[in-house]
Structure 1
Amino acid sequence: MQQDDVEIIEREACFRGFYRLDRLHLRHRQFSGEMGRPLSRELFVRHDAVCVLPYDPQRDAVVLIEQFRVGALEKSANPWLLELVAGLIDKDEEPEAVARREAVEEAGLSLTSLWPISQYYPSPGGSDERVHLFIGRCDSEGAGGVHGLAEEGEDIRVHVWPLEDALDAVKDGRIDNAASIIALQWLALNRAEVRGLWS
């Protein structure tokens, strides 16, 4: 099926702020070939995002950041999450430029290479966000401290972990956000190739 198999009957603007919320009244073609009945669906409209896992192939170490996340406030014992460096794509930015910019802003790191992992929808049932996921080559020596842009309310602590420790944190649930889990598991599967090319 294709986009032509969806009929947008009406699109309502429900909220306009830093993010948007629209309500779509639509119908789409069923697997039977017939058009289905009209449906009403809310859509969280947001910029696409870039997430990058800084990796030091010489030390076999990853750089993770820790920051407060309001989405985890009521469903987690600790709403300070271990995550990847990440940011939203502004109108005319390329994902690679966002990855490099955010690595400097959030972790004080310069990335010397980027390895695209994947592009994916984290929650397509209600959001149009698409994530561009990368591994970024870095030198982790001296990495650490607190970073972020004060004008954006960022308070970000930087951690350097052996890759094996980060994988253990995925296994025991200390790392529990999708981009971090996907990137770390991808690196575990492709570690030899990445180290071979980047070392």
Structure 2
Amino acid sequence: MSVADRVRIRETTLLSDNWGRLEKTVFDWRRSDGSWQTQIRETYDRGDGAAVLPYDPERGTVLLVRQFRFPAFRRGHDEPLLEACAGLLDADDPAGCAKKEAEEELGIRLTDVAFAMAAFMSPGSVTERLHLFTARYRPEDRIGTGGGHVEEGEDIEAVELPFETALAMIDTGEICDGKTVMLLQHIALKGLMRR
């Protein structure tokens, strides 16, 4: 039996349609024992995204962005987050989006991006699937200063760190963004960085 055979949607109510779309759905779920249970869930849909973590195995560095994230601040995180650069797909394919975000946020032109994985980052309430990439870069790939788009509220700092330092920052909590943790560990597990 597929999941589609186990869900009967009864009612969907639009709660908000601003930056993203927030809906409340009442549905019946067929439990493993065959009985039906009515459940209510809110889902937030803002589209899918892509993220890329550029790395330079020759110099042993990675490029990250540092930016203010209001939801993290709201939860008591008093510093801008260090993250892999990322953005919403909009009309782009995932690889094209990753390259575009690297130019806008980091000021580098990436020619080849390598797909790492696609993951739901918070599947209990957010519909977004994030497509994660890595890409080799060199200092001569720099085409600008980065920083993002002011009109979109972006105030981004490009940060180059030694890979080992970035990896250690996971343990200290200085890097606490899920996509960034996953990409740093992916680079380590795949042996992409010379150690």
Q: Could you state the TM-score of these two structures normalised by the residue count of structure 1?
A: 0.90
Structure 2 distance, partners of 1:175, 1:140, is 23
SS at match of 1:123: coil
CA distance in 2, matches of 1:148, 1:140: 19
Percent of paired sites with the same residue: 36
- Confirm or deny: 8 A CA contact 2:55 2:62 kept in the other structure: yes
| TM-score, normalization by structure 2 | 0.92
* Distance change (3 Å), C-alpha of 1:118 and 1:60: same
| Alpha-carbon distance in 2 for matches of 1:140, 1:31 | 55
Say yes or no: does 1:25 pair with 2:36.
no
**Counterpart residue number, 1:72:** 72
Matched-pair contact (CA < 8 Å) for 1:68–1:80: yes
Q: What residue number does 1:98 align with?
A: 97
Q: Counterpart of 1:153? A: 153
**Structure 1 residue aligned with 2:40:** 40
SS at match of 1:147: coil
Partner of residue 169, structure 2: 169
CA distance in 2 between counterparts of 1:152 and 1:135 reads 25
Offset, 1:145: 5.1
For the aligned residue pairs, the C-alpha RMSD in angstroms reads: 1.8
The whole-number CA distance in structure 1 between the counterparts of 2:141 and 2:93 is 28
SS of structure 1 residue aligned to 2:190: helix
Deviations 1:60-88 (A, max 9, x none): 21001101100111323423000011000
Point out 4+ residue stretches in structure 1 off by more than 6 angstroms: none
CA distance in 2, matches of 1:140, 1:29: 55
* AA at the equivalent of 2:29: H
Matches within 5 A, 1:46-57: 46-57=46-57
Matched, 1:126 2:125: yes
Alignment of 1:173-184 (within 5 A): 173-184=173-184
Q: Which amino acid in the other structure matches residue 33 of structure 1?
A: G
Q: Distance in 2 between matches of 1:146 and 1:134?
A: 19
Instruction: Tell me the distance in 2 between the aligned counterparts of 1:2 and 1:190.
Output: 33
Task: Provide closer, same or farther for how the CA distance between residues 87 and 101 of structure 1 changes in structure 2, counting only shifts above 3 A.
Answer: same
DSSP 3-state at the match of 1:155: coil
